[in-house]
A and B are shown apart, each in its own frame.
Chain A
């Protein structure tokens, strides 16, 4: 009983402290918009929507394309949506960029695969697995770089960034229910 009360108290505390934000809350008006974005001039109040936009501009949260089609624009036919490619190019270089692009390309295929064709679904799963394995070979969290788990999670989330894309991605995962796969070995970077 005491434990349950403790849990509830902690949960409430978390909620309230998170709500305080530890920074400039929107209720004040005229805040700095957090640590990112263009600071408003004196006396200028940013709306919450403007603050979110500022976070996008600063790169603290990704600015993503949200069109109605699942595939989205890929003007250079790289296999990666233009907005994601642009974000990756801004953040990574060299082998790390290549690894992130490889995994992003595989995640994108998961949205479009015929989920009735289990062999095709499993083939995409292996591509994603090889892409993630490549990320794990290029990112180690040392020297201030991101941990590979975080890199891969961001790619997964950015790919499934609209309702239709998220549902398509979950449908792909559902098709893999009950399957088995192995971590690939060796250099899987393309």
Chain B
């Protein structure tokens, strides 16, 4: 359709038309050449306080071990992390250093004990304490300090809850899940619940009823959008209770000495850890968490899909009215945009000419169609979008988000995409035949 004609049509229809799924649409891929696993549920984990990204990754791996790749209703599950870093985490190192200097510097310089100490000890600490009893004081002193610091940190976060405006990549990822018709389950632990509530508030109004759910674990927030689990001896949340309102206790757990260790070999003196307490198969409380997640997975409602999942996808959104266009130059030379929605490897399957977006390109999961090489992703202010902030997110079916980038748009340039956003390289491993999508630097 001629862009001007389309533009005029869309102005006339702007009160009822938001995004236009195009006919490039649903891909039917021969199973023998299908590079992707079709997934219906996005299982999004939001980590707790003082957690490294790798620790969040491990927690998600453990949740995957428990719940598998297939939901009770048969939907395939894709596990993703929406990571948050605790502000001031690095400041804890200073206090830990001071503790290590105690007892005449017995453990000075042994920073490998740091992460175990955050969980109240582990096998290394046990070996040390069993041999040099004075070391116990170092650990308990640090844990006592850490408990107060964590409570203070969570209190501050409660006073000023995070907003998704500060977490652009999470927001864009949620947009993409909704666009592709995914059921969404947010599973949150500790401070992750604050982020989950913000994510739920963003996603639920945009998606069909019942297609977004939250499971709260050790919630550091009185606001709940789903079932929750909280241990009576969770000393971090109990500390928050002393200064405000928190969710009700649901389960009793044994005291520290009687607890079995979690799969990481730790017990968590504070009773707050996800692996150590809440999904520890040796503790009854883990059954409640498992039940909540299983129920949520089996009762999520499928929302309508506006776009197709692909080997990799590119999603464009912007922050107001105007017509911004997504352009993809495929390795074959095909230029995929609103005038040419079908390329050699992919399709522009959602176009928007009115406001906010989204626009969506997907590269085929069919190895018979997907080309190796570089896909150049660019955008243009076609019209009426000067000053708007446009955001592009590239994600692969396997790795999730590869990159997210925003630009403030200048004057309209029509069909000339002057904003180079990403170079996506699709390659095939010669040894194992596996395809991958990675980002490459933009040309200077």
Binding site for B on A (CB under 8 A): 3-4, 7, 10-11, 13-15, 17-27, 31, 33-36, 48-49, 51-52, 54-55, 60-62, 64, 66, 107, 118-119, 122-123, 125-126, 128-129, 132-133, 136, 141, 147-150, 152-153, 156-158, 160-163, 165-167, 169-171, 173-174, 176-187
Q: Are B80 and A182 in contact (CB under 8 A)?
A: yes
- Residue from B106, B113, B233 within 8 A of A7 (CB atoms): B233
Q: Which residue of the partner chain B has the closest CB to A164? A: B111
Out of A126, A136, A169, A177, which one reaches B83, CB within 8 Å?
A177
Chain B residue contacts of A118, Cβ below 8 A:
403
Which residue in chain A gives the minimum CB-CB distance to B431? A190
The verdict on A136 contacting B61 (CB below 8 Å), with A55-B127, A61-B128, A149-B263 known, is: yes
B235:A165 contact, CB within 8 angstroms? no
Asked if B222 is at the interface of the complex by the 8 Å CB criterion, the answer is: no
Q: Does the CB pair A21–B133 fall under 8 Å? A: yes
Residues of B within 8 A of A128 (CB): 53-54, 57
Q: Nearest Cβ distance between residue A81 and chain B, in whole angstroms?
A: 12
Q: Which residue of B lies closest to A61 (CB)?
A: B124
Main secondary structure of the interface of A (DSSP, over half): helix
CA distance A153 to B266 in the complex (A): 11
Residue of B nearest to A103 (CB): B54
- Contact (Cβ within 8 A) A26 B434: no
B131 and A180 within 8 A (CB): no
Question: When each residue 104-133 of chain B gets 1 if its CB lies under 8 Å from chain A and 0 otherwise, what string results?
Answer: 001101111111100001111001111111
Question: CA A174 – CA B91 in complex, angstroms?
Answer: 12
- List 14 A-B pairs, Cβ < 8 Å: A14-B255, A18-B129, A18-B140, A21-B130, A27-B133, A48-B135, A51-B132, A60-B127, A149-B263, A153-B115, A162-B109, A167-B90, A174-B89, A178-B169
Interchain nearest-CB distance for B319 vs A (Å) = 17
User: In the bound complex, do residue A181 and residue B127 qualify as a contact, i.e. CB atoms below 8 Å apart?
Assistant: no
CB-defined contacts of B53 to chain A, threshold 8 Å: 125, 128, 173, 176, 179, 181
Q: Is the CB of B83 within 8 A of A153?
A: no
Q: B interface vs A, CB < 8 Å?
A: 37, 52-55, 57-58, 60-62, 64-65, 78-85, 89-90, 93, 97, 103, 106-107, 109-116, 121-124, 127-137, 139-140, 166-170, 173, 232-233, 235, 238, 255-257, 262-265, 269, 275, 398-404, 432, 434, 438-439, 441
B81 closest partner in A (C-beta): A181
Residues of B within 8 A of A182 (CB): 78-81, 398-401
Given contacts A17-B257, A149-B275, A156-B52, contact A129 B132 (CB under 8 A): no
Contact indicator A185/B54 (Cβ below 8 Å): no
B401 x A177 contact (CB < 8 A) = no
Chain B contacts of A17 at CB under 8 A? 257
- A26–B93 touching, CB < 8 Å: no
Chain A residues contacting B111 (CB-CB under 8 Å) are 160-163, 165-166
A182 to B45 CA separation, bound complex (whole angstroms)? 10
Query: Are A180 and B82 in contact, CB atoms less than 8 angstroms apart?
Result: yes
Tell me if B140 and A15 are in contact (CB < 8 A).
yes
Separation of A35 and B123 alpha carbons in the complex (Å): 13
A183–B114 touching, CB < 8 Å:
no
How many Å from the CB of A174 to the closest CB on chain B?
5
